[in-house]
Structure 1
Amino acid sequence: MNRKLSLLLILLILFRVNAQTEKENNEEKDSLYIHEVENVQTPLKILHAEPLYIDLIRDLGARKGEKEWNIGLGLVDNNKFDRYEALVEYEWAPIDRLGLEVELPFTMYSSSDSPGSKLNGIKLAAQYTFLVSEQYNTSLALGYIHEFEITEFDHYGKGKFFTGNVFNPFLVAAKRWGSNFHSLIYTGPVVVSHFDSHHTDTSWQINTNFHYMITGTRNFIGVEFNKSIAASDFDMTIRPQMRVGITDNVMVGIVTGIPIKRENDRFSSFLRLIYEPKHKK
């Protein structure tokens, strides 16, 4: 009996030691990855998880020479017809902490009685990280997106090619809690000006994000809460998501959209392919 009890105690001790060792290894992996991002290069940059649907112009605290290509594909289940979304996006940092972006977003429909398919517009954007705090693991940035809206494919050559402008200044605040937990707020007004009607539509975007980054990797799981407020109307879509690294510089993001009101759109899905060419350190 004493031998069995001694054996059980030894197994419990070994299990505890193994669990403690695994925990220390995970913490070491996190520390090494965070160190690689934040401390190996200059200037200082805090590692933050970037949302996948309403993404940033460039990493917060971007370093000169960073660049990234994105290809996105989405499907929205509308009450009357399906809507297909696609985008091609290039972003880069010409100087430290400044990110620039060019994006071409497309919308296509599955039904002949739906709105016309089109290249939505040409989006140009800039984002500057004006605060990077190592003490609080926090970054703050200001940005601006300008979109030149374009008419439907069927109307090319039949009227104005550009149909309006979209003005979108925004603020980003992000904080990492410990090694794995990340939070981010992205907010600002969106003003749409239509050339034909000389009418403007204004709404306010408030996007809150929470992510958990898997130990020692760039993989994460998380959720976006994309909220839009316009006059007395409030809409919110909850977007659970995950990002998985395929190679050192290729990642895939998978997003599901769940609207809290099914006025027009129902469930949606979105896939983002991310390619980061290596840059000189």
Structure 2
Amino acid sequence: MKNNLLGMFIIAMSFHVSILSAQVDEEKINQIKDSLYISAVEKKSGKPKVLHAEPLYIDLIRDLGARKGEKEWNVGLGLTDNQSFDEYLALVEYEWAPIDRLGLEVELPFSFYYPVNGNQTAPNNRLNSLKMAAQYTFLVSEKAKTSLALGYIHEFELTDFNSYNSDRLVTGNVYNPFFVGAKRWGNNFHTLVYTGPLFFHHFADNSTYTSWQVNSNFHYMIPGTRNFIGVEFNKEFQKDDFDMTIRPQMRVEVTKQILIGIVTGIPIERENQRFSSFLRLIYEPGH
């Protein structure tokens, strides 16, 4: 009897040790994969570059420390639940790096509206603007795993589709200089701040006003993958008004060149906007 119990105990301990060993081996494999992925991004020929997780809703013009020849297509689809109408978003953007550390982008954002809750009216459908942007990474510190960049976005605001024949096509400008600072902590934790003023100029009444964006981000890259989970805190200040939307998100690698980003928007105060969702399809051609 004692021998049987001893044998069962030895078998159980061996099984437990084998499970622990497998877990340790998996952790080591994931660490190796992380190191290889980071090395593949950072150790290519060209100027130094630090791998950072890029937010999915208010994304960057190009990777921080971009290298000449990098390029990317994005297609975005979103839905925002407002008090009196639903807003369906769509965007197409192309970004590329003509030289090391300089990223350029062209974006076409669309909005389509549908009245709800018995309302008979909603804003007219439109191509919101033609957005053109540039971003230059002026500091890359491999030792501190930190990158800093300055950029500028210019938007030519456009009239709605129904007014193309009777109104001016360009209705205003938006001027948006911005700053980006990012740091990676170890291999998997990423933080980033994206901030700057937006200066609006509407041609119809020659009015101007200013708002400030402060977007802080935190992401955790899943060990052994390019996938991550994280959150954006999109904050906007305008005169005496403050709005913030919390956007939990995740990115999933489908193939080596295709990734999908999924975002949920949760406003802290439901003045007009309620919950929202956003899907981003990312295609990275080989370079």
Q: What is the TM-score normalised by the length of structure 1?
A: 0.96
**Counterpart check, 1:78 vs 2:82:** yes
Query: Quick one: distance in 2 between partners of 1:23 and 1:267?
Result: 37
Match of 1:54 among 42, 58, 65: 58
1:260 deviates by: 0.5
1:160 deviates by: 1.4
1:197 deviates by: 1.4
- Is the 8 Å Cα contact of residues 32 and 216 (structure 1) preserved in structure 2? no
For residue 64 of structure 2, what is the amino acid of its counterpart? L
For residue 45 of structure 1, what is the amino acid of its counterpart? K
1:14 deviates by: 2.4
Whose radius of gyration is greater, 1 or 2?
2
For residue 230 of structure 2, what is the amino acid of its counterpart? G
Query: Quick one: distance in 2 between partners of 1:15 and 1:104?
Result: 52
For residue 89 of structure 1, what is the amino acid of its counterpart? E
Query: Quick one: distance in 1 between partners of 2:224 and 2:143?
Result: 21
1:10 deviates by: 2.6
For residue 10 of structure 1, what is the amino acid of its counterpart? S
**Counterpart check, 1:267 vs 2:263:** no
Match of 2:234 among 226, 238, 243: 226
**Counterpart check, 1:130 vs 2:124:** no
- Helix, strand or coil for the counterpart of 1:247? coil
- Helix, strand or coil for the counterpart of 1:200? strand
1:18 deviates by: 2.1
For residue 14 of structure 2, what is the amino acid of its counterpart? I
Query: Quick one: distance in 2 between partners of 1:64 and 1:46?
Result: 15
- Is the 8 Å Cα contact of residues 29 and 224 (structure 2) preserved in structure 1? no
Deviates most, 18-27 or 177-186: 18-27
**Could you list the per-position Cα deviations for residues 114-172 of structure 1 after superposition, in whole angstroms to 9, with x for gaps in the alignment?**
11111111100000000111001111000000001111111112121111000000000
- Helix, strand or coil for the counterpart of 2:144? coil
1:174 deviates by: 0.6
Runs of 4+ in 1 over 6 A off after TM superposition: none
Match of 2:110 among 106, 109, 122: 106
- Is the 8 Å Cα contact of residues 30 and 179 (structure 1) preserved in structure 2? yes
Deviates most, 34-43 or 263-272: 34-43
Aligned to 1:13: 17
Aligned to 1:212: 220
**Counterpart check, 1:38 vs 2:60:** no
In structure 1, the gaps of 5 or more residues are none
- Is the 8 Å Cα contact of residues 219 and 245 (structure 1) preserved in structure 2? yes
Query: Quick one: distance in 2 between partners of 1:262 and 1:166?
Result: 26
Query: Quick one: distance in 2 between partners of 1:50 and 1:199?
Result: 34
For residue 8 of structure 1, what is the amino acid of its counterpart? A
Q: What is the TM-score normalised by the length of structure 2?
A: 0.94
- Is the 8 Å Cα contact of residues 106 and 133 (structure 2) preserved in structure 1? yes
**Counterpart check, 1:65 vs 2:90:** no
- Helix, strand or coil for the counterpart of 1:110? strand
**Could you list the per-position Cα deviations for residues 48-105 of structure 1 after superposition, in whole angstroms to 9, with x for gaps in the alignment?**
1100000000000000000111111111001001011111100000000000000011
Aligned to 1:238: 246
For residue 121 of structure 2, what is the amino acid of its counterpart? D
In structure 2, the gaps of 5 or more residues are none
